[in-house]
Amino acid sequence: MSRKGITREQLVAEAALLADEVGLEKLSLSVLADRLEVRSPSLYNHVDGLAGLRRELSLLAANTLANLVAKAAHRRKGKNALVAMGDAFRNLSKNRPGLYASLIQAPAPGDTEMADAANRALEPLFGVLSELGCEGDQAIHAIRSLRSAVHGFALLEAAGGFGLPTDLDKSFHWMIGRLVP
């Protein structure tokens, strides 16, 4: 058969798009192979099985998020920056639900690359908080709370957990405003 010239990056990117369309749970090597017009065993040349693909997706998600958050924080200050970062988070979950969902899986113990990528998305948060004069225990509490709240909000929203979609933006901003010291 003629070569398709698939690269790992393309493969993972396509898998992410597919996950957005059909849901991360329904993403299988079979459907990905169909999409790429290839037989499923061929995927093993690029990725270490389904588990490997999932890890690549997590990595892509973490890096994508880190970039969006950094861009959102750029040239903004204080609470404005926090709100923009929160919005970036939430927008990713709305625009790329499959990709966002792959953030959830816990990194394997000792997987520093994965842990690093996740931490990179949090760095701007540290910056803004210290700029707001928030240090020590306060900063730790605030970061944990903001992460939890934003993540939980995005998940509940994606799962249709909120009854009415009215004023969801207001609620989200109210929440963030409450959690900055």
Partner DNA sequence: TTGCGAATACTAATAGCATTAGTTTAATTC
Partner DNA sequence: GAATTAAACTAATGCTATTAGTATTCGCAA
Sign for the pseudo-dihedral over CA of 77, 79, 81, 82:
positive
DSSP one-letter code for 106: P
* Residue 161 in the binding site for a copy of itself (CB under 8 A): yes
* Residue 13 in the binding site for DNA (CB under 7 A): no
51 binds, among DNA, a copy of itself, none (CB under 5 to 8 A by kind): DNA
Coil, strand or helix: which one is 95? helix
For residue 121, which phi and psi values (nearest 5 degrees)? Answer: -70, -20
Contacts of 134 (CB under 8 A, 6+ apart): 142, 180, 181
Of 4, 71, 74, 77, which lies in the binding site for DNA, with binding defined by CB under 7 A? 4
Coil, strand or helix: which one is 1? coil
Of 30, 95, 141, 169, which lies in the binding site for a copy of itself, with binding defined by CB under 8 A? 141
39 binds, among a copy of itself, DNA, none (CB under 5 to 8 A by kind): DNA
Residue span binding a copy of itself (CB under 8 A) among the ranges 38-46, 78-86, 124-132, 154-162:
154-162
CB atoms within 10 A of CB 139: 17
* Contact string (CB under 7 A) for DNA, positions 51-90, x = contact: x---------------------------------------
CB-based contacts of 116-121 (< 8 A; 24+ apart in sequence):
117/59, 117/62, 117/63, 117/66, 118/62, 120/62, 120/63, 120/66, 121/62, 121/65, 121/66, 121/69
147 binds, among DNA, a copy of itself, none (CB under 5 to 8 A by kind): a copy of itself
Question: Which amino acid is it at 83?
Answer: V
Asked if 38 contacts 6 with a C-beta cutoff of 8 angstroms, the reply is yes
Residue span binding DNA (CB under 7 A) among the ranges 35-43, 71-79, 126-134, 154-162:
35-43
* Contact string (CB under 8 A) for a copy of itself, positions 77-106, x = contact: ---------------------------xxx
30 binds, among DNA, a copy of itself, none (CB under 5 to 8 A by kind): DNA
* Residue 155 in the binding site for a copy of itself (CB under 8 A): yes
Site residues for DNA per CB under 7 A: 1-7, 28-31, 37-42, 44-46, 49-51
